Structures are given as structure tokens and as C-alpha cells.
Amino acid sequence: MRPHLPPLNALKAFEAAARHESFTRAAEELCVTQGAVSHQVKALEAELAIKLFNRERQRLIITEAGRDYLAVVRDALDRIAIGTERLLQRQNAGVLTVSTSPDFAAKWLVHRLGHFAEAHPDIDLRISATLHHVDFAREEVDLAVRHGDGNWPGLDTVRLSSEQLFAVCSPKLLSVRRRLAKPADILKFPLIHMDSRTDWNNWLREAGLDEAGVMHGPVLNRASMVIDAAINGQGIALARTTLAAWDLIKGHLVRPFVLALPLAKTYWIICPKATANLPKIVTFRDWLLAEASSDLRQLQRKGWALKSSTSSK
């Protein structure tokens, strides 16, 4: 059982009065009346049954017992202040563990981490790239970026961006004889597939083309691999807005046609509701949204009609 402790306000009044050797100046520091400080000190003396001050001709003189106790109280208050500051620093800075999918980490996040580190040197980012959806109750993860429909009950969710699916390729493919003048010209090239051939079936159908030509080309199981294969000139791929944005902006990829399929699912920033307003989480979330908005503006300057839809659920 914890020993009885005097009231914190009484200890603060005693420490301030001893430091200033004045109830009046202690009251000014603590933003209370002189009478309140005097009352707190008298109550503390009564509780301890020890005289802490002598009052002599409007002077406040600390007793020997009071001086000994002051050392203890000052040390305790200093420890509380230091501990509180460290706690607040951990909320504003310190380690921030972020879970993302491997594709998002590889094609969107890692290129930008240097910018975040320069702007926020007090936040030590730890990135965990994994396919499984994080369990915030069991894992030491502060925030996650996940692809889906935004339906994560009990969690704070903010949409990072809207998504479309469109054809991309290396600019090198546009300079060879087999030019991409019309959508049908796509069938002259290998088509790079993600998991199955369904996306290309849908794109070709929307373009009014025969789907029979979709059967050629490699099938890869990671979106980042599909994009990298396209950058390498291995064929034409279908890519989602978010994952392709960096390489489109940098000129590693081009969009040969404006045709794009809207997608219901996109990337979401998620975290527990209880921690959603922690300063370091707010800082990182705001940075993610600013980066996504910057991508959108740069892509729109290239003439591509993309909708901004960063919103909470």
C-alpha cells in the first residue's frame, strides 16, 4: 500500500514560497492569491506536524526541517517535470512505427522518406512492409496504410487518394517502329498482367477491342513488379494511380492512352481512434495527404483528369 502523500498543490506552494522566501511572490508565480499560498503551507505544516517557516517581521524564513524537506520536494517535482516532458516528447516526436503493404512501401513511400526526415527530424520512422493487416491491440504499430474499401470498424480511417486503372509503358516503347497510335496497337506488345488477365480483359473491352489478344504476356503477383517490368520496357502494364504516380511524374513511365477505369478500392490511412490526434500521428498523416495532393496536381498538369477525394470515413 502506497504511503499517504501530501496534496500536490500544497507541495508546490511550499516549494515556491521557499524559493522566493515570500508568499506574495510565490502567489504571483502560481497565479493564485497570497492567502491561498499561505493557507496551503499552513495546511501542510498541520498535516506534517512540523513547522516549515518562521514568520519574522514580514519575512519568511525557512526552518532547518523545512530546508531538509525542501530538498526532497524539489527533487520530486523536478522528476515529475522531467517525466512529463519526456512523455509529451514521445507523443510529439520519438519513434513512429508505420505498417504498409510491400507494394506501397516500394513504389510510393521509400522515395519520399528523405523529405519527411528533413522536415521532421524529431520523428524516428520505422517502416514495416507486410501483407497482413495490422492488429493495433497486439502489435507495436502506430499507423498503417492499407488498400481496401475503407471499412475498418472501430478505427480512424482517412482516404489517401482516389484510384484509376490505366495503361502505362516505358517511354522507350513510344520511339520504336511499333507506335502506339490507337488502343489496338497495344496488342503488338507483350501485356504484363497482375495475378490474372482480368484487368486487361476489362480494359480492352472498355476500349472496344477483342479480348482474345489478352492472353500473351507474363503474369506477376506483385503490383510493384508489374510497374518495374513496364519501366524496364518489357511490355505494357495496367497500373493504379497511387503506385504509378512517382514513376509517371519522374518520366520513367508514360500513359499512351487516356482511357482509365475507375476503381472502388484505394489506399487508406488507418490508426486507433484513441491515438488519432497524437501530434506525431497527425504530423505523419498530414504529410502523407500533402504528398498525395502534390502527386495529383503534377499529374493533372500533364492533362490527366484525376479526382481528388481525400476524406475521412
Alpha-carbon distances, residue 81 vs 91, 217, 295 (angstroms): 16, 65, 43
Q: 309 pLDDT exceeds 50?
A: no
Specify whether domain 164-263 bears CATH 3.20.20.80. Answer: no
| Residue 241, all three cell numbers | 494511380
pLDDT exceeds cutoff 50 at 311:
no
> Is the per-residue pLDDT at 178 higher than 80?
no
Residue 308 has what pLDDT?
41
Residue with the bigger pLDDT between 139 and 93: it is: 139
Q: Find the helix or strand (DSSP H, E) in which 206 lies.
A: helix 198-206
Across 277-306, average pLDDT: 88
Question: pLDDT for 102-136, tens place per residue?
Answer: 999 999 999 999 999 999 998 989 999 998 888 88
Judge contact between 142 and 294, C-beta under 8 A.
Answer: no
Asked whether this chain's domains 92-158+265-296 and 164-263 adopt the same fold, the reply is: yes
pLDDT at 197: 77
Q: pLDDT tier at 312 (50, 70, 90 boundaries)?
A: very low
In this prediction, residues 287-313 reach a mean pLDDT of 75
Rounded to an integer, the average pLDDT of 258-270 is: 93
Q: How far apart are the first and last CA of the chain?
A: 46
pLDDT of residue 167: 95
Give 1's pLDDT tier (boundaries 50, 70, 90).
Answer: low
Which sequence spans correspond to the domains of the chain?
8-89, 92-158+265-296, 164-263
pLDDT of residue 42: 93
Instruction: Name residue 185's amino acid.
Output: D
253-277 mean pLDDT = 92
Contacting residues for 87 by C-beta, under 8 A, at least 6 apart = none
- Asked if residue 220 lies in contact with residue 174, where contact means CB atoms within 8 angstroms, the answer is no
- Per-residue pLDDT for 280 more than 60? yes
Lowest mean pLDDT among 20-29, 269-278, 303-312: 303-312
pLDDT of residue 313: 47
At 229, is the pLDDT very low, low, confident or very high (cuts 50, 70, 90)? very high
Q: Cα–Cα distance between 213 and 275 in angstroms, integer?
A: 50
92-158+265-296: CATH, from 3.40.50.2300, 1.20.1600.10, 3.30.1490.20, 3.40.190.10: 3.40.190.10
If pLDDT is split at 50, 70 and 90, which confidence band does 214 have?
Answer: low
Instruction: Tell me: pLDDT of 310 over 60.
Output: no
Q: What pLDDT score does 307 carry?
A: 47
Residue 218 has pLDDT above 90, yes or no: no
Least confident of 2-11, 40-49, 71-80, 266-275: 2-11
Pairwise CA distance, residues 64 & 277, whole Å: 48
- Sequence-ordered list of residues with C-beta below 8 angstroms from that of 145, at least 6 positions apart, any chain: 98, 99, 100, 101, 104, 109, 160, 267, 268, 269, 270, 288
8-89 under CATH 1.10.10.10, yes or no: yes
